[in-house]
């Protein structure tokens, strides 16, 4: 089965058809986690989420920023801010439903200062940032969990890489710094290609940008290359803080944290990646998750998480994000700030598509048919029709034009496309064709071919 996502670049011709992007839906009272322990210091950040199907529990790793810091340490100046050495911890939590979280009494670190704690690791240098965890079920049993994080140790700065059999006991692999980086790194694992990716933050033209390194074994990494930096259409205050990638149908999509240094506020932009993991942005730069109201817990900015999405039973996708009550400069100046993690949902396979405002029509670029049945993912209150035309300069196929198509109506992920009383496109199997759609006040998100 192939779920074909209707990206703007997959439209060869259109008339009164426009790009459509869906905004994520924040749950009411959606903050599900915040600082509640003395070692968390009032601030938690950069979570990674994973639902363990075998154990039937949600697992989370996150950064806790203690109030304790070393007054005698020399200051480090970053973005015109003085930063002293702080105590920072990578911690672990679990949940049965992903909403109410338990901090297990691990007592592996800092037991004298903080009894019954869930701390896994403590920083050695000035500070640590961006712990990002992935899970590879096909890896060696002792290394199925893989962690990456940034540490600032004065002249030595960069990436730590660690592995674990249970997500609790970690062993460092590779010599620090494994890769050069700034803070806010993110990891991604392509299960089909069995490739690990690290998205690293650095400056290009003095603006935060994203670099990419890849590995087949989580030990040997490619030299980082720039994959995303502000360009035409952006201002000189546009910065890219972090990103989260996930499979969506037949492509990879993602959420990008866009930080505007003029307002000191961050929001989330929808992006996607090609097969070579080049990151692409949509022309309209769609913001799909915005900060809350001024006084809301996430009113100062929203940032991405790491790990994996969680699919509900009703086609809903649960996405966890990291939010702050204050703007970015309040955080780095150590002013009173509340951070936490929240949930925003979206419908599977329905983040991007085409919409008709009145009568409209579009034609796709060429599609290789690998199945025998065709379905359309669409919302329409008026009849919508489909036609199959030849690749190249399109010509109609007899029996597969609008007049031969039974119109579809309603809201379905898989409307059957019926030509001459049959859902049968087997004659096109192994061939390239184009699909035309016409409708009125309709939204089309894509196709399923099986």
SS3 annotation, 324-380: ECCCHHHHHCCCCCCEEEEEEEEECCCCEEEEEEEEEEEEECCEECCCCCEEEEEEE
Stretch(es) of the chain classified as CATH 2.115.10.20: 25-347
How far lies 54's CA from each of 61, 101, 191, 246, 429, in Å? 18, 18, 18, 21, 38
Stretch(es) of the chain classified as CATH 2.60.120: 2-20+352-449
User: Under the phi-then-psi rule, with left for phi > 0, alpha for psi from -120 to 50, and beta for the rest, what region is 330?
Assistant: alpha
Contact indicator for 345, 422 with CB cutoff of 8 Å:
no
Please report, rounded to a whole number, the percentage of residues in the chain having pLDDT higher than 90.
87
Question: Residue 88: is the preceding peptide bond cis (ω within 30°)?
Answer: no
Per the listing, tokens 């955080």 go with 331
Q: What average pLDDT does range 49-70 have in this prediction?
A: 92
Superfamily of domain 25-347: Glycosyl hydrolase domain; family 43 (2.115.10.20)
Alpha carbon distance 29, 7 (integer Å): 33
Residue 427 is predicted with a pLDDT of 97
Predicted TM-score (pTM) above 0.85: yes
How far lies 444's CA from each of 174, 199, 419, in Å? 47, 32, 19
Q: What average pLDDT does range 312-317 have in this prediction?
A: 89
Is residue 64 over pLDDT 70? yes
Cross-strand bridge partners of residue 244: 255
Q: What average pLDDT does range 4-24 have in this prediction?
A: 98
Residue 232 is predicted with a pLDDT of 81
Alpha carbon distance 297, 111 (integer Å): 31
Residue 335 is predicted with a pLDDT of 57
Alpha carbon distance 16, 408 (integer Å): 19
Residue 295 is predicted with a pLDDT of 87
Alpha carbon distance 320, 336 (integer Å): 23
Q: What average pLDDT does range 416-420 have in this prediction?
A: 97
Mean pLDDT of the chain: 94
CATH of domain 2-20+352-449: 2.60.120
With a CB cutoff of 8 Å and minimum separation 6, the contacts of 329 are 81, 264
Is residue 331 over pLDDT 60? no
Contact indicator for 40, 66 with CB cutoff of 8 Å:
yes
What's the N-to-C CA distance of the chain in angstroms? 4
CA angle in degrees (0–180, nearest 5) for 69-74-76: 90
pLDDT in tens, 32-58: 999 999 999 989 999 999 999 999 999
Is residue 279 over pLDDT 60? yes
pLDDT in tens, 183-210: 999 999 999 999 999 999 999 999 999 9
Q: How confident is residue 1, by pLDDT bands cut at 50, 70 and 90?
A: confident
| 414 burial type by CB count under 10 A (0-12 exposed, 13-18 middle, 19+ buried) | middle
Is residue 310 over pLDDT 60? yes
pLDDT in tens, 80-123: 556 777 899 999 999 999 999 999 999 999 999 999 999 999 99
142: phi then psi, degrees, rounded to nearest 5:
-80, -5
Alpha carbon distance 408, 439 (integer Å): 10
Residue 333 is predicted with a pLDDT of 52
pLDDT in tens, 134-164: 999 999 999 999 999 999 988 899 999 999 9
Residue 80 is predicted with a pLDDT of 56
Is residue 79 over pLDDT 80? no
Residue 18 is predicted with a pLDDT of 98
Residue 81 is predicted with a pLDDT of 59
Cross-strand bridge partners of residue 109: none
Is residue 233 over pLDDT 90? no
Alpha carbon distance 274, 417 (integer Å): 28
How far lies 214's CA from each of 178, 184, 421, in Å? 12, 17, 49
Cross-strand bridge partners of residue 379: 411, 443
């Amino acid at each position: 089965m192939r779920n074909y996502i209707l990206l703007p670049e997959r439209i060869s011709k259109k008339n009164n058809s426009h790009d459509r992007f869906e905004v994520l839906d924040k749950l009411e009272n959606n903050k599900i986690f915040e600082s509640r322990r003395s070692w968390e210091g009032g601030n938690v950040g950069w979570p990674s989420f994973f639902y363990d199907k075998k154990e039937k529990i949600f697992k989370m790793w996150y950064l806790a920023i203690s109030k304790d810091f070393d007054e005698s340490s020399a200051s480090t100046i970053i973005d015109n801010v003085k930063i002293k050495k702080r105590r920072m911890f990578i911690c672990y939590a679990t949940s049965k439903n992903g909403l109410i979280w338990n901090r297990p009494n691990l007592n592996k670190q800092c037991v004298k200062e903080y009894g019954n704690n869930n701390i896994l690791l403590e920083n050695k240098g000035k500070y640590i940032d961006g712990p990002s965890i992935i899970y590879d079920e096909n890896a060696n049993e002792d290394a199925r969990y893989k962690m990456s994080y940034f540490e600032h140790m004065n002249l030595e700065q960069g990436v730590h890489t660690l592995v674990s059999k249970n997500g609790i006991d970690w062993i460092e692999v590779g010599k620090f710094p494994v890769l050069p980086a700034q803070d806010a790194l993110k990891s991604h694992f392509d299960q089909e290609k069995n490739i690990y990716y690290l998205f690293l933050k650095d400056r290009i033209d003095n603006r935060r940008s994203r670099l990419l390194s890849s590995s087949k074994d989580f030990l040997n990494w490619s030299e980082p290359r720039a994959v995303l930096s502000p360009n035409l259409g952006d201002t000189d205050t546009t910065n890219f803080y972090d990103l989260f990638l996930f499979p969506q149908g037949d492509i990879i999509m993602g959420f990008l944290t866009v930080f505007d240094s003029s307002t000191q506020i961050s929001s989330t932009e929808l992006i996607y990646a090609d097969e070579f993991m080049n990151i692409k942005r949509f022309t309209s730069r769609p913001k799909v998750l915005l900060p809350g109201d001024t006084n809301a817990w996430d009113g100062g900015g929203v940032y991405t998480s790491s790990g994996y999405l969680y699919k509900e039973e009703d086609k809903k996708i649960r996405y966890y994000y990291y939010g702050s009550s204050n703007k970015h400069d309040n955080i780095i100046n150590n002013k009173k700030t509340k951070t936490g993690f929240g949930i925003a949902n979206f419908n599977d396979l329905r983040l991007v598509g085409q919409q008709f405002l009145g009568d409209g029509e579009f034609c796709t670029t060429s599609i290789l048919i690998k199945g025998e049945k065709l379905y359309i993912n669409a919302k329409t209150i008026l009849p919508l029709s489909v036609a199959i035309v030849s690749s190249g300069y399109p010509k109609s196929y007899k029996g597969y034009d609008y007049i031969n198509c039974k119109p579809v109506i309603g809201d379905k992920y898989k409307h059957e496309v019926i030509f001459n009383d049959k859902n049968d496109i087997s004659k096109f199997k192994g061939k390239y064709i184009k699909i035309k759609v016409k409708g009125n006040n309709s939204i089309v998100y894509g196709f399923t071919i099986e």
